[in-house]
Structure 1
Amino acid sequence: MGPPERRRLFEEIYEAHYSDLLTYVWRRTGSPDDAADAIAETFTTAWRRIDELPEGRETRLWLYGVARRVLANQRRGASRRTALATRLRAELTAWQDPAPTAGHDRDAVRRAFRLLGERDRELLALVGWEGLDTAEIATLLGCSRGAVRLRLHRARRRLARNLKLVGSDLATYGVRATEPAKGTS
């Protein structure tokens, strides 16, 4: 069968079965978006396998079978996404401070952090958020460990100064803000 015949056959199948298939998937999804996705995937499969489609009434049943498998895949995908979202929420909750500071304290830290230059922010983030030690940071930045220690010391001093500028006390934020990075001895 040549391309024009294949196209004509597909159009006939589409016209004959679109409405029934839409009803079939709509009743099972209840969502216009999910139904549209299922219909599109079902007819994409029909197009790819046009030479294998059964004839007559069997075509409709074959399309229902494809739609049924597409819907099962959608449900499995939704279950995986829900499980992933639940796992991510749990991980993000674990990343929060065990004893959160008052809202204005967090705001003060954010303001003080934003006042820093880009290099200072990145350096402090590599230590505080990513947990890198001075050797790792030196490799990442392409400089010596001594240079990292010096830059880190200066960045922490500037952060302490900025915290005072925004009306906060550095001690409020615990030792993490002032302790040396791992491997600095």
Structure 2
Amino acid sequence: MTSRNTYHHGDLRQAVLAAALDVIAAEGPGALSLRDLARRAGVSHAAPAHHFGDRTGLLTAVAAQGYGLLADALGGVDGLRERGVRYVRFATEHPAHFQVMFQPELLRADDPDLVAAKDRASTELRTGVTGLPDVPDPRTAGIAAWSLAHGFATLLLSRNLDDPLTGRDPEEAFRALAALTFGTGAPGNPGAPEGVDGPENPPTH
């Protein structure tokens, strides 16, 4: 356990977030306790409350961090299908964030950091659909594409695809699924054009 004396300004907040992500990945967000996280991080029991206020504040910070990471993952990627691959990759690399981000009942919806991070992610998601040729209904296309990537990622994380994907790379399997669903060269990633339910109104699971 790390001594609290080794922390510098700002490190303690990250230490508590890291401990929270470990708990969420192993046991789910319902297992979070600020007192337990303080013990895990090697800090006083009051330290998490000082930085996050309460359990909802901590989960909101986790979600905000997750949306920021998602926006980074999607940025600069050409092609809607490859944005879908990045979405799936984000979910597999950050499963604890992914669990929390799409459960709005756990979060403080008006938190400024969360709102800003969602806006960044939404912009990246919309970019995948905006300007696509020969798409008569971008709104519906965006919903379909996002649903495909989010559903695939959710099934992957819950290990429901272990048998169907035996011996296959999940990202390559997603590319093939996107082509089968949308046609060659068509979208395979969640893009949400203006007006499409994106991270502002995510599915719960």
TM-score category, normalised to shorter length: under 0.3
Task: Point out the structure with the larger helix share.
Answer: 1
Greater RCO, CA 8 A, separation 6+? 2
The two structures have a TM-score, normalised by structure 1, of 0.24
